Structure 1
Amino acid sequence: MVEQIFKLTGGNDKVVEKIILDENLHYMHVIIKQSDGFPEHYTNAVVYMTVVRGIVSLQLDDQDYYAYPAGTVLKIPVNTKMNLNNFNPETLELILIKAPPPDVLPE
């Protein structure tokens, strides 16, 4: 086999899984229930975020929270302050891609 195969976890329970971590990119799959999220942090790479289902509520740098529905793809610059939450009753599912990955960013 030439290709590599990776599987994503399904369901509605909280999941933060690192699917691919290599020299080209970091590919992560996230499922978050209502009233959950990530602690405030600064992005350590350019983040490409795809909202697969639900609505993500994001506060970036000093902006207000904005809500992005399923089907939205966001590009978030490196070193951006981020608050990510699910304020909605529907389960939130995201794909996060960091490219280039943090360990190969130029200084």
Structure 2
Amino acid sequence: MIEKIYTLSLNSSNKEVKKVILDDNLHYIHMVFPKGEGLPEHFSNSNVYMTVIQGVLSIGLNDQEIHEYKAGNVLKIPKDTKMNVKNLHENMLKLIVVKAPAPSY
């Protein structure tokens, strides 16, 4: 078998940050946030491509006010950007985050 298969949890109703693929090329992360949940404020350690799969993403970048993005939006966030990722809405927020190139720690 040439391909390697990874599985996402599609029916999670709890906060979840699952690092699906972590290799030398990229990091592929599945995130699920109920209302009021999100990530601690941090700086991006690579270029971040964030796809909103479900719900509404509320995100503050650097010193900008919070912007909101609905399902179907893909954000490209440069390395070293301050990020404040939250779900401020009733519906579950589901994201796919790709970091490319993979961060070097």
Alpha-carbon shift at residue 14 of structure 1 (Å): 1.1
Structure 1's unaligned 5+ residue stretches are none
* 1:77 equivalent in structure 2: 78
Any runs of at least 4 consecutive aligned residues in structure 1 with deviations exceeding 2 A, and if so which? none
* 1:36 equivalent in structure 2: 37
For residues 5-53 of structure 1, what are the alpha-carbon distances to aligned partners after superposition, in whole Å with 9 as ceiling and x for unaligned?
Answer: 0000122211100000001100000000001111110000000000000
Paired with 1:47 and 1:12, the residues of 2 have a C-alpha distance of: 24
- TM-score, normalised relative to structure 2: 0.96
Q: RMSD of aligned C-alpha atoms?
A: 1.0
* 1:7 equivalent in structure 2: 7
Give the counterpart letter for 2:79 in structure 1.
V
Paired with 1:79 and 1:72, the residues of 2 have a C-alpha distance of: 21
For residues 67-101 of structure 1, what are the alpha-carbon distances to aligned partners after superposition, in whole Å with 9 as ceiling and x for unaligned?
Answer: 00000000000000010000000000000000001
Q: How many residues align?
A: 104
Q: Which protein is richer in strand relative to its size?
A: 1
Give the counterpart letter for 1:8 in structure 2.
L
- TM-score, normalised relative to structure 1: 0.95
* 1:50 equivalent in structure 2: 51
* 2:67 equivalent in structure 1: 66
Q: Percent identity?
A: 48
Q: State whether residues 9 and 15 of structure 1, in contact with CA within 8 Å, keep that contact through their aligned partners in structure 2.
A: no
Helix, strand or coil at the partner of 2:104? helix
Structure 2's unaligned 5+ residue stretches are none
Paired with 1:56 and 1:93, the residues of 2 have a C-alpha distance of: 9
